[in-house]
Structure 1
Amino acid sequence: MDLFNRVRVGINAVPILSPLTGVGQYTYRLITELQQILPHKPWLFYGTSWDREIRTAAAPGARELNNAIKRMMPHPHLITRFLKQTRFSSGVRRHKVNLYHEPAFLAYRFKGPSIVTIHDLSWVRHPETHPVERLREMNRFMPRVVEHASHIVVDSDFVRQEVMSYYGVPGDRVTTVLLGVGAEFAPLDAARCQPVLDKFGLAYGNYLLTVGTLEPRKNLSTVIAAFARLPDDMRRRLPLVIVGMNGWGMDKFSHGLRHMIERGEVRMLGYVDQAELPALYSGARLFAYPSLYEGFGLPPLEAMACGVPVIASRRASLPEVVGEAGILVEPMDDAGIAGHMRALIEDDALHTRLANAGRVRATAFTWRKFAHETIAVYKKIMSHVD
């Protein structure tokens, strides 16, 4: 029998229990693809229990227990992690897991071969964009995680170089596996977008869009500053729509938004269900994403797949995603970004050219390809197991 047919993969599935941001999307797509490809469905760890089926909600009482620990105990993060490690280890033994993939940085202790996905080093490169508690946790645990992992998977060549440089990891221990874009992200005409756009009071082709957790690293303050430079009538005709959960550091730019929100020039939709995103992308005139630091950048790829021209930062991994199919900018240059916004609004030929180029480029990124390349890493690691 092929050695790989005996592999019993365990995956930390906690990231899919909350609204799906980048790591949650990665974890969800990894699990759903592996369920279809592997000879045995992976075992999924949900923090307090194990299952082979996908869940989207935490077990009853789990959130209340975590909140109680935070209120009543010193060092709540360490206590919570200890409890989860205990449940993790007992499940590993019970289900005979012999290969562990941690998709969310902070791997649990595991005696067998393990793969850890490091999506970025933002807590190292941009510590000012993280709360103190998160910095403390990452700096405490990540050196050990990197040391003990059999192999590290990263989302881009940019992050691969970051990991090799910062942690001194040799290149043969780090593999780039580019992410994918779901088939649901495709150009939709006005009629198919209308139900979603009506819900949010938007008109097809008559708004600008940005998507991402509302935190300083996403650099939404520069998007807003660039938008504010557009002529008054243009801002009224094409409002800026911001989609994303409230994150850390919102207070730093929320005050400046107030007057444009009151005038209807900026619409903050908050977290939007994943099923509504294709329509929101497809209905936008353009998509702006001048993030300061990204390990990959799913939103610009999703926008390109929907046939929407993209303005993105030329920093970090984003050039690997966008390539020459979008407009790459210095992320703090609000005047330059405003000029590109105006060009994409007024120049139909430029808009069409970039919309087509983005759609073609996006076809090279699929979750099935991502899964097969991840499995190739599994096979490589297992081939060295006695």
Structure 2
Amino acid sequence: MRIAVFVENALGSGGAFQQTLSMIQALQSLPGYAVVAMSPVAENIERLHDRGIEAHLYADGAWTRFFDTLSGLAPRSEKVMHQVRRLGFRRLGQNLDSHLEELKIDIAFFNARSTTPIRLTRHPYVFTVWDLCHRDHPEFPEVFADREFERREQILKAVLPKAFAVIADSDRGAEKIALWYAVDRARIHVIPFLPSVGVRAYAAGKGTSTQQAVRVKYGLPENYIFYPAQMWPHKNHLYLFEGMAELKSRYGILVGAALSGGDKGNLNYLQSCAQRLGIADQVFFLGFVDDGEIPALYAGAKALVMPSYFGPTNLPPLEAALLGCPVIYADQPTFRTQMQDAALYCDLTDPSSLAEHLRSVLQDPSIVKHLKKAGHAMAEQLDEDKSTQKLKSIFDAYALKQRRWKAQEEGRP
């Protein structure tokens, strides 16, 4: 069976791109399945080819997208388009389906929030929901401004009921999908985040960069904390700055902060905040960082600090734990469930809470030793094979049903 995995996030989108690569790698290991990546981003195609992944660019222009989507949102229009196709416009309203048929695709797999499944009229799909934070925290501008909340709701309500299977990152996430979007719980499969391919390679001694190399390249001090996150308000970089300022004023301790991730409209504000708090010379905005450098930044950091509001789980704490980097996380119930005793938890209403944790990881070797030990123990429980087998069970179930109307390649009726 041939599976089309849609890679709709650009390389610089961070965790979403990395999780898609992990899913592709898992599917490639399954006997009897072929994986074809589909992307509207030309840069992705080259990068996927470099990793030995078959990848194809698909048309995502405004008119193509409009006509493909029209029949999905307005099914009655399909009769009209059917008549127009008979006049010679054979791909009208079915451009993406036609492309997938040319590639002999059986089922599509979406690993990020997307309207693309609405374009499909002849291919079933599996859909992933990593978060529902527009519901959890609708006050943040990135999920309420410019009708973003409504857009997300429209996507989920349109694509989830038709999905052959839905993937969630946690039991709590699965419960919310079932409750808020009336999806049968039996169709929702929990597959937790896995550290990125690059981080796992680094942990296995196959890294492409070093701690010294990234410190020199980015001019980082020996003592720095790391936070890989796009510059969104919900990532809560300001809290990190306030904690660093508290650490400096109360204890006279200076620590650098290496911040990787693109500007999502909040960078200038964050720079002004760092200046106002008197820590501008301690903050290093790295911008987009190559995949190969991220593991080395974790490994060289005194701690990963992640005061994000959004969940229910996140990828960086898992990656940090795998690489022996102590984790300081926001104190939220789902984050505690995710990391248990492998993290220190800070009160997002009180920056002094973060300052105390920073002082601990900088000055108390026993706490660092405990966090590293607990992190390694937790990382050992991350079962890549188990995640792969869960994916296999989803696609095996579809293959079984598909035989009701389509003969398999090996000739079974």
TM-score (norm 2): 0.78
Residue equivalent to 1:3: none
Aligned residues: 368
Q: Tell me how far apart the structure 1 counterparts of residues 244 and 131 of structure 2 sit (CA, whole Å).
A: 28
1:197–1:52 CA distance, 2 compared to 1 (3 A) = closer
Higher relative contact order structure (alpha carbons within 8 Å, sequence separation ≥ 6): 1
Deviations 1:310-369 (A, max 9, x none): 111232642333121111233333221221111221111111111121122112225444
Check 1:252–1:147 CA distance in 2 against 1; reply closer, same or farther (3 A cut): farther
Answering whether residue 105 of structure 2 is matched by residue 101 of structure 1, we say no
Amino acid at match of 1:194: Q
Partner of 1:35: 28
Are 2:203 and 1:195 equivalent residues in the alignment?
no
The answer on whether the counterparts of 2:241 and 2:279 sit within 8 Å (CA) in structure 1 is: no
| Deviation digits for residues 181-218 of structure 1 (CA, Å, limit 9, x no counterpart) | 242343999x94111211112244x1122111110121
Partner SS state of residue 111, structure 1: coil
Q: Which among 235, 250, 259 is matched to residue 242 of structure 1?
A: 259
Q: What is the alpha-carbon distance in structure 2 between the residues aligned to residue 88 and residue 53 of structure 1?
A: 22
2:27 corresponds to 1:46 = no
CA distance in 2 between partners of 1:230 and 1:219 (Å): 17
Q: Could you say which residue in structure 1 is the equivalent of 2:335?
A: 318
SS at match of 1:127: coil
Aligned-pair CA distance for 1:285: 0.9
Alignment deviations for residues 120-158 of structure 1 (CA, whole Å, 9 cap, x no partner)? 112222233324254343222220101111211111122
Identity of aligned residues (%): 21
**Pairs within 5 Å for 1:86-125:** 86-106=94-114, 107-108=116-117, 109-125=120-136
CA-atom RMSD, angstroms?
A: 3.5
Matched, 1:216 2:216: no
Q: Deviations over 1:215-246 (max 9, x none)?
A: 01211111111111112597774212212111
Residue of 3, 15, 39 corresponding to 1:9: 3
Taking structure 1 as the reference length, what is the TM-score of the superposition?
0.83
Question: Quick one: structure 1 residues 20 and 316, their matched pair in 2 at CA, closer, same or farther if it must change by over 3 Å?
Answer: farther
Which moved further from structure 2: 247-256 or 206-215?
A: 247-256
Aligned match for 2:187, one of 173, 187, 194: 173
8 Å CA contact retained: 2:244, 2:255? no
Kindly provide the CA deviation profile for residues 26-54 of structure 1, in whole angstroms up to 9, marking residues without a partner as x: 11111123223242421222238998992
SS of alignment partner, residue 289 of structure 2: coil
Tell me how far apart the structure 1 counterparts of residues 40 and 69 of structure 2 sit (CA, whole Å).
Answer: 9
Measured in 1, the distance between the counterparts of 2:45 and 2:338 equals 34
CA contact (8 A) 1:186 1:306 kept: yes
Give 1:144's aligned residue.
158
CA contact (8 A) 1:186 1:307 kept: no
Unaligned runs of 5+ in 1: 1-6
137-146 vs 43-52, which moves further: 43-52
Compute the displacement of 1:87 (Å): 3.5
- Alignment of structure 1 residues 211-290 onto 2, 5 Å: 211-232=228-249, 237-250=254-267, 252-259=269-276, 263-290=280-307
2:125 is aligned with 1:126 = no
Please give the alpha-carbon distance, in whole angstroms, between the structure 1 residues aligned to 2:92 and 2:316. 31
- Evaluate the alpha carbon distance shift between residue 218 and residue 262 of structure 1 in structure 2; reply closer, same or farther with a 3 A threshold: closer
C-alpha separation in 2, matches of 1:85 and 1:218:
39
Q: Is the 8 A contact 1:236 1:265 kept in 2?
A: no
User: Does structure 1 retain, via aligned residues, the 8 Å contact 2:67–2:93?
Assistant: no
Matched-pair contact (CA < 8 Å) for 2:40–2:57: no
> In 2, Cα distance between the equivalents of 1:95 and 1:125?
39
> 1:292 Cα shift?
0.6
Give the match for residue 366 of structure 2: 349
Unaligned runs of 5+ in 2: 71-90, 405-413
Contact kept? 2:37, 2:56, Cα under 8 Å: no
User: Within 2, Cα distance between the matches of 1:56 and 1:134?
Assistant: 34
Equivalent-residue separation in structure 2 for 1:86 and 1:48 (angstroms):
20
* CA apart distance, 1:117: 0.4
Structure 1 residues 308 and 273: alpha-carbon distance in aligned structure 2, compared to 1, 3 A threshold: same
Letter in 2 for 1:120: D
User: Cα 1:199–1:97, aligned 2, differ >3 Å: closer, same or farther?
Assistant: same
1:9-88 alignment to 2 at 5 Å?
9-15=3-9, 17-47=10-40, 54-55=48-49, 86-88=94-96
Q: State which drifts further: 93-102 or 154-163.
A: 93-102
Letter in 2 for 1:150: F
Change (3 A) 1:375 1:382: same
Rounded to whole Å, the distance in 2 between the matches of 1:96 and 1:306 is 40
Give the drift of 1:258. Answer: 2.7
1:88 shift after superposition: 1.8
Alignment match, 1:162: 176
1-structure distance, mates of 2:176, 2:279: 42
Report if aligned partners of 2:256, 2:282 keep a CA contact under 8 Å in 1: yes
Residues 313, 331 of structure 1: 8 Å contact kept: yes
Q: Does structure 1 retain, via aligned residues, the 8 Å contact 2:45–2:57? A: no
In structure 1, give the amino acid aligned to 2:156. M
